[in-house]
A and B are shown apart, each in its own frame.
Chain A
Amino acid sequence: MQDSFYLTFYLTFKLALITTFILLIIGVPVAYYLAYTRARLKPVLETIVSMPLVLPPSVLGFYLLVTFGAESFLGGFIIQTFGVRLVFSFEGLVLGSVIFSLPFMVQPIQAGFEKIPESLHEAALTLGKSKFRTLFMVLLPNTKPSLITGVVLAFAHTIGEFGVVLMIGGNIPGVTRVASIAIYDEIEALNYGLANQYALSLFAITFLILLLVYIINRRFIKGS
């Protein structure tokens, strides 16, 4: 019993960490593009990125299931080529979480980029610096609070996610059974004590993480 408790939490945070890390790598370029593009397609792209905010998780989960299921063309192709199954597996959970938490990472960072005065960007250009160097030396260091906000929101949202995870991952202990699913599962089995143990732990841990981040963030704002 204790073992499965720890295993569930280990899985939950592993999922959140990996998802957040992937999102940071994807989110920065996407946010950069959306903040600075003049393409006419921009509203469409922004809408696509933001869709998970309003879409019921079950809708997304359903389509992921249909798209990546072993019987589907894409799912079959991925299994044959990479040997990775994207439904009812941990990899599938990561994929679902990345898509579902994308706006939580992209939106704060995009807002952070847009808040930077245009002249800073242009100053770096007139000083002969490439866009790449400008991004890493000027833009990102000046969006630190937004980066932190994006990371925390993505992380916390992944921990709290239920619908997508259930749809695409199911409830396989040690593989796809994360804390939010475990709570649901224990309640169904009328195991209120254990459900409470999960719920309280989740409550406490997320509270501490958020608190820590807000304290750090305040230092940043004060320091700058």
Chain B
Amino acid sequence: MELKLKLEIEDKGMISLFGKSGAGKTTLLRIIAGLINPDEGIIRLDEEVWFDSKKKICLAPQKRKVGFVFQDYALFPNMSVQKNLLFSLENKREKSRVERVLEMTGLSELKDRMPSSLSGGQQQRVALARALVRNPKILLLDEPLSSLDIEMRLALQDEILSLHDKLGLYTVLVSHDHAEIFKLSREVFVIEDGRIINAGSPSKVFWGGRISGKFKFLGEAVEIVQDGVINILSIRIGNNLVKVVATDEEIENIKPGDQLMIISQALNPIIKKVDLKNPYAS
């Protein structure tokens, strides 16, 4: 697949990359980090040129100040949390920096633990901390929260947001989660087959810019089953699976995996706070 993209990030901004797996999002992050080199093009950060095919400039990954948070965290299993962070230091005299980052990410108590003994959320936090120790100019987050449960995800989203604001760095987030994109970024790029097919603010991209009192959800088609004369369409909305009845016309172009918008018009919703001990009691 050919990847052909042009995108710009506003000063110290955070953008999201959205798209199906295989669309080229991770490849783009790897290109920015210098793990893969593009055939042609330019990568520039502020005034620093990292890659320019015409001028034959290509900075080694070690020379690019990126903080890459990998999807599988890529923590070094042979080192404790603290050692993972110390390893990333450029200047061994800056040990206090490790302490600071440990504190900032709430990891001080876990600093002597080995990665394998940590929960997914804690590992994620260590991966983020390790990326920050290097004092990067740009943070690359490859679906950093996709394997965490919803509570942990929300907590870490807050953390990413506050760290981003505090440290003032560019951030590129790859995400599948609409809510996450809304919460974290002001600009989203939708990538399909290696091309940017849509870009703008999350509400413009996902809602088409119109705001109304209607109920709208974004979801993903999971399954279409024909039951007698009707079609039952299963849609994943966030973490919930919802089944709706759909007409033949509606499902004509829909196949599992498609992104859908579900709009409900004449509906008066009942909103209740959930009792966590007994969520389904009415």
- Residue A138, interface by CB 8 Å: yes
Q: Find out whether the CB atom of A119 lies under 8 angstroms from the CB atom of B70.
A: yes
Q: Contact flags (1/0) for A118-151 with B, using CB distance below 8 Å?
A: 0110111111111000000110011000000000
Residues 69-107 (chain B) with a chain A CB within 8 angstroms: 70-72, 74, 76-78, 87-88, 90
* Distance A218 CA – B142 CA, assembled complex (angstroms): 35
- Residue A224, interface by CB 8 Å: yes
Interface-forming stretch among B45-53, B60-68, B166-174? B60-68
* Distance A137 CA – B79 CA, assembled complex (angstroms): 9
- Residue A117, interface by CB 8 Å: yes
Q: Find out whether the CB atom of A126 lies under 8 angstroms from the CB atom of B76.
A: no
Residue of B nearest to A130 (CB): B62
Name the contact of A125 in the complex, choosing from B61, B77, B78, B116 (C-beta under 8 A).
B61
Return B104 CB to nearest CB of chain A, in Å.
Answer: 18
Q: Find out whether the CB atom of B74 lies under 8 angstroms from the CB atom of A120.
A: yes
> With A119-B72, A128-B62 given, is the CB distance from A224 to B87 under 8 Å?
no
Residues 85-144 (chain A) with a chain B CB within 8 angstroms: 117, 119-120, 122-130, 137-138, 141-142
Residue of B nearest to A137 (CB): B87
Query: Chain A contacts of B72 at CB under 8 A?
Result: 117, 119
Return B138 CB to nearest CB of chain A, in Å.
Answer: 11
Return B70 CB to nearest CB of chain A, in Å.
Answer: 4
- Residue B134, interface by CB 8 Å: yes
Return B80 CB to nearest CB of chain A, in Å.
Answer: 12
Main secondary structure of the interface of A (DSSP, over half): helix
> With A117-B72, A119-B70 given, is the CB distance from A126 to B61 under 8 Å?
yes
* Distance A122 CA – B26 CA, assembled complex (angstroms): 13
- Residue B35, interface by CB 8 Å: yes
Instruction: Count B interface residues, CB 8 Å.
Output: 24
Return B90 CB to nearest CB of chain A, in Å.
Answer: 6
Return A201 CB to nearest CB of chain B, in Å.
Answer: 38
Chain A interface category by residue count = 10 to 19
* Distance A120 CA – B75 CA, assembled complex (angstroms): 7
Query: Chain A contacts of B62 at CB under 8 A?
Result: 125-126, 128-130
Residues 2-19 (chain B) with a chain A CB within 8 angstroms: none
Query: Chain A contacts of B78 at CB under 8 A?
Result: 138, 141-142, 224
Q: Which of A124, A126, A138, A141 gathers the greatest number of chain B CB atoms within 10 Å? A: A126
- Residue B130, interface by CB 8 Å: yes
Name the contact of B35 in the complex, choosing from A120, A125, A127, A142 (C-beta under 8 A).
A125
* Distance A125 CA – B34 CA, assembled complex (angstroms): 9
Query: Chain B contacts of A142 at CB under 8 A?
Result: 76-78
- Residue B33, interface by CB 8 Å: yes
Q: Contact flags (1/0) for A47-85 with B, using CB distance below 8 Å?
A: 000000000000000000000000000000000000000
Residues 12-41 (chain A) with a chain B CB within 8 angstroms: none
Query: Chain B contacts of A126 at CB under 8 A?
Result: 33-35, 61-62, 64, 66-68
* Distance A62 CA – B63 CA, assembled complex (angstroms): 51
Residue of B nearest to A142 (CB): B78
Query: Chain A contacts of B68 at CB under 8 A?
Result: 122-123, 126
Residues 106-123 (chain B) with a chain A CB within 8 angstroms: 116
Q: Find out whether the CB atom of A123 lies under 8 angstroms from the CB atom of B77.
A: no
Name the contact of A128 in the complex, choosing from B35, B70, B76, B134 (C-beta under 8 A).
B134
> Which positions in B face A, CB cutoff 8 Å?
30, 33-35, 61-64, 66-68, 70-72, 74, 76-78, 87-88, 90, 116, 130, 134
Sample of 20 A–B contacts (CB below 8 Å): A117-B74, A119-B72, A120-B76, A122-B61, A122-B74, A124-B76, A126-B34, A126-B67, A126-B68, A127-B130, A128-B62, A128-B90, A129-B62, A129-B87, A130-B62, A137-B87, A138-B76, A141-B78, A142-B76, A224-B77
Closest 3 CB pairs of A and B: A119-B74, A141-B78, A123-B74
